Amino acid sequence: MKKSLLIVIICATLCLNGCSLVPTTNVNQLNIIEAAGFDLVNPKQIKGTVVFPVFRPTGQTEFNVSSANGETIKKVRERLDSQMRYRLISGQLRVVTFSLELAKKGIFPIIDTFNRDPAVGNIIQLAIVDGETVDLLSLEQYSKENVALYTYDLLLHNSQTGPFPYTDFATFIYQYFEVGQDAYLPVLKIVNDKIKLTGIAVFKKDKLITIIPWKYAFIFKGMVQDYKQGLHQFKIDGEYVAIDNLTSKSKYSVKIKKGKPEFTIHLNMNARIQEYTGDKPIIFPKHIKQLNKAIQKDVEENARGLISLLQKNNVDPIGLGSKLEAHQRNFNSKKWRKQYASAKIKVKVKLDILHTGVVE
């Protein structure tokens, strides 16, 4: 019994001594990067900008912004470290942004570097900035607010209840390597000194090809992801109709005719009318039916406009190629790329207005 007790005491002592050997670092002696941005300086050089909190003895937290140029992201990091009192770490990175010009040149070398860093999580948000990322991350009105957290929340809530499809670091990596689908990312812009979502950037591999205007974001999300809840406004015959509690599901059918694929996208939507500015009462079934039909028509027209834009630029963020691959045994990605621009793609919308809400 005494021998067992002695062994327990010895083990406990060793554990306590072992804990004292583990190096510890005061959080006040670290620069924890929460946002990063990259701009194109010239064809061979990039500018990297980081945002990190500084904890003051008074208990206040300030957010510092620092930039450095380099030929690679590692060189940028080295030059950033050379001007820091404490070392930079990436464990709390939330948002990574790229300027339009850099995105047109290609962003995979930077993405790949982050992908190899075990400290970087897969759910960080990526975004394209219409302008310079350093300007967005340095906005004066966010100097006392965490611009990283603000931007992260902005992107997240617009994908959860807004018209933007959810994407993150892992999603982009998946889409990059996926056969038959092109990647996409949100576009941010400074509007009246505020950060605003303005569109969806579509890539071919890692190069930005075109931007989906915000007016098409609603229908684009309906095609690539299921809506669980949402709100959208339509302009019908000069009047405005707002629908909410929006849910939707998409289904794709593929046919091969004379060696060429044809697609039909079935979009089933459920919603309620929350607001209507017209003078017709919408408590009667015939008026609800008229609005229902008009909204369906509007969605289908927007869908055709979106598909025309994507085919014109030969990009497939909807992932029709991956759906064709699942349908066709002898799928050839190069052949599909040639067929895509002229492929027949139809969108059929079915909207059920379950009930009406507050009407003005």
Same domain, 299 and 213: no
Give CA–CA dist 254/324, Å, rounded: 7
Distance of alpha carbon 171 from alpha carbon 57, whole angstroms: 40
> How many other C-beta atoms lie within 10 A of the C-beta of residue 353?
18
Do 251 and 341 sit in the same domain of this protein?
A: yes
Residues 6+ apart with CB under 8 A from 18: none
Q: Is residue 3 included in any domain, yes or no? A: no
- Tell whether 297 and 246 lie within a shared domain: yes
Q: Confirm whether 163 is domain-assigned.
A: yes
| Domain hosting residue 284, numbered range | 226-360
Same domain for 185 and 88, yes or no, is yes
Residues 236 and 337 in one domain: yes
- Tell me how many domains the chain contains: 2
Burial of 86 (0-12, 13-18, 19+ CB in 10 A): middle
**What distance in Å separates the CA atoms of residue 164 and residue 79, rounded to the nearest whole number?**
36
Asked, for residue 231, whether it belongs to a domain, the answer is yes
For 62, other C-beta atoms within 10 Å of its C-beta total 11
Side-chain half-sphere CA neighbours of 158 within 13 A:
23
Of the candidates 218, 253, 279, which is a domain's last residue? 218
Q: What is the CATH number of the domain that holds 278?
A: 3.30.300.210
- Opening angle at CA 53, ends 48 and 57, nearest 5: 145
Q: Residue 41 domain-assigned?
A: yes
C-alpha dist (Å) from residue 149 to 67, 137, 142, 189, 264: 19, 11, 10, 17, 40
Dihedral angle computed from the Cα positions of residues 108, 110, 113 and 118, in that order, rounded to the nearest 10 degrees? -110
Domain boundary among 184, 218, 252: 218
Residue 268 pLDDT: 94
In the chain (360 residues long), the average pLDDT of successive 10-residue segments reads 50 48 54 94 96 77 91 93 86 94 96 89 93 95 86 93 91 94 97 95 97 95 88 88 88 92 95 84 78 92 97 97 90 93 95 66
Quick check: is 1 in a domain? Answer: no
Q: Are residues 279 and 189 in the same domain?
A: no
200 and 230 together in one domain: no
Q: Is 179 left (phi over 0), alpha (psi -120 to 50) or beta?
A: beta
How would DSSP label each residue in 13-75?
A: HHHHHHHHHS----GGG-EE--EEEEEEEETTEEEEEEEEEEE-TTS-EEEEEEEEEESSHHH
341 in the same domain as 292: yes
Q: Do both 63 and 200 map to the same domain?
A: yes
112, part of any domain: yes
- Asked, for residue 47, whether it belongs to a domain, the answer is yes
Q: Decide if 14 is inside a domain.
A: no
Residues 314 and 336 reside in one and the same domain? yes
Residue 184 and residue 273 in one domain: no
Determine the pLDDT at residue 237: 86
Chain-centre distance for alpha carbon 48: 20
pTM for the predicted model, two decimal places: 0.88
Q: Tell me: do 185 and 264 sit in the same domain.
A: no
What is the pLDDT at residue 145? Answer: 80
3-state secondary structure of 111: helix
What is the pLDDT, as a whole number, of residue 4?
A: 54
- Amino acid in position 335: K
Domain C-terminal end among 189, 218, 247: 218
